[in-house]
């Protein structure tokens, strides 16, 4: 059995923790390799503490569990920035997970997270707090290969600055990282600038700076330091605010390097009346 999904819909009587317990009572063990945790009751007011507790307290009954997606819900259920979370380090520390994805970052923490097993960590959010970024930066995850952080904007919880993001560009913190996504950010140009000078880029296969406010400033930096990107298999700049002229130059440059470049601007909305630029997920 691969993935199992638990979800409390609009008219479901039983909340997610109760559904998980019921499944365990009926089947003794849950043999799924992945748990998809969808909307829990009143996700805009209640953190999934009970769900985390149920899983941890019954961890021996999940013998095959490798991945968890916590908060697999749509805006029709709950806006991303409304989803309440809590300290979720236990999922990393107590289980032998290889992959953890969390949607929503309000109240989310990973205090003293530590795992030899975790290879993938994804946080999808409208805004990550500097405390949360600090937790992840300090986490002991020596085998992490895939890190994707939707940093977001101030209005939805991003209260940090570039110094909060820089630890993710240091190889000593994440020595085995192959995929780094520092994305969906309102400081995307600054991130681009810092990552060029970082030591993490040399070990990456994929650099993902997509869904943010990357502009001509970032594009010029990439073109001026193109050799720093030449070893990549893929550079993801999907959804950006780069001019047509520089998009063309980037496409030509990366075609000659044999690096896959994603640079679509299909979903970008430019408001003629305002100079504001928004990342993709800001709701």
Partner 1 sequence: MRTMHFIIIGDLIGRRVKAFVDCLKEMDIHNYQVISWLDVLQDISILEKNLKENTIIRIEPPEKDLEIYRLILGFSGEKGGVSSQEIENIDFSNYQIVAPAQWYEGFTLVLEAIDKILSQNNNIYCMNHFKEAIQMMDKSRTYEILEKEVSKYNYKLPVRYKTPDNYEGFVDMYGHKVFKCFIKLRYGSGGTGVIAYKNNPRLGDERIFTSLNYEIVDGNRIFYSNSKVNVYQDKTKIKELLDWVLHNGAHIEDWIPKPAYNGYFFDTRVFVLSQKVQYVISRLSKTPITNLHLKNRRVEDIDFISKDHLENIKLAAEDVMKVYHQSWYAGIDIISSRSGKPYVIDVNPFGDLFHHLLGTDKNIHYLEIKKAVDLIKWWNR
List contacts with partner 1 (CB under 8 A): 7, 9-12, 39, 42, 44-45, 74, 76-77, 79, 81-82, 106, 283
Least distance to partner 1 from the beta carbon of 12, Å? 6
Q: How far apart are CA 231 and CA 86, in angstroms?
A: 39
Which is nearer to partner 1, 8 or 136 (by Cβ)?
Answer: 8
List strand residue ranges (DSSP E) for 44-138, in order: 67-70, 99-103, 120-124
* β pairing state of 99-103 and 179-185: unpaired
Q: How far apart are CA 13 and CA 19, in angstroms?
A: 10
220 contacts: CB under 8 Å, gap ≥ 6: 246
Within 10 A of 197 (CB to CB), how many other CB atoms are there?
11
Least distance to partner 1 from the beta carbon of 127, Å? 11
Least distance to partner 1 from the beta carbon of 208, Å? 19
Which is nearer to partner 1, 183 or 194 (by Cβ)?
Answer: 183
Which is nearer to partner 1, 81 or 93 (by Cβ)?
Answer: 81
Which is nearer to partner 1, 93 or 106 (by Cβ)?
Answer: 106
Least distance to partner 1 from the beta carbon of 77, Å? 5
Which is nearer to partner 1, 6 or 179 (by Cβ)?
Answer: 6
Least distance to partner 1 from the beta carbon of 189, Å? 26
> CA distances (Å), 199 to each of 13, 104, 227, 228, in order?
51, 29, 14, 10
């Amino acid at each position: 059995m691969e993935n199992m999904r638990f979800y409390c819909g609009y008219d479901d009587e039983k909340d997610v923790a109760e559904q998980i317990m019921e499944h365990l009572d009926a089947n003794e063990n849950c043999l799924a390799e992945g748990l998809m945790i969808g909307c829990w009751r009143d996700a805009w007011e209640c953190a999934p503490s009970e769900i985390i507790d149920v899983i941890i307290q019954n961890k021996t009954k999940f013998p095959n569990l490798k991945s968890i997606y916590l908060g697999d819900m749509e805006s029709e259920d709950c806006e991303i920035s409304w989803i309440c979370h809590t300290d979720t380090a236990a999922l990393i520390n107590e289980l032998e997970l290889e992959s953890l994805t969390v949607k929503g970052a309000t109240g989310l923490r990973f205090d003293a997270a530590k795992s030899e097993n975790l290879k993938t960590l994804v946080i999808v959010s409208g805004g990550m707090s500097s405390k949360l970024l600090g937790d992840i930066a300090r986490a002991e995850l020596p085998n992490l290969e895939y890190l994707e952080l939707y940093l977001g904007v101030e209005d939805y919880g991003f209260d940090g600055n570039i110094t909060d993001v820089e630890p993710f560009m240091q190889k000593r913190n994440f020595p085995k990282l192959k995929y780094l996504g520092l994305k969906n950010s309102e400081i995307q140009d600054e991130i681009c600038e810092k990552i060029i000078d970082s030591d993490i880029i040399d070990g990456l296969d994929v650099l993902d700076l997509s869904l943010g406010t990357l502009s001509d400033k970032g594009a010029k930096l990439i073109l001026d330091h193109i050799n720093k990107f030449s070893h990549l298999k893929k550079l993801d700049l999907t959804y950006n605010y780069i001019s047509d002229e520089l998009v063309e130059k980037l496409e030509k440059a990366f075609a000659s390097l044999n690096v896959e470049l994603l640079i679509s601007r299909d979903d970008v909305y430019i408001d003629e009346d305002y100079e504001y630029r928004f990342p993709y997920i800001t709701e």
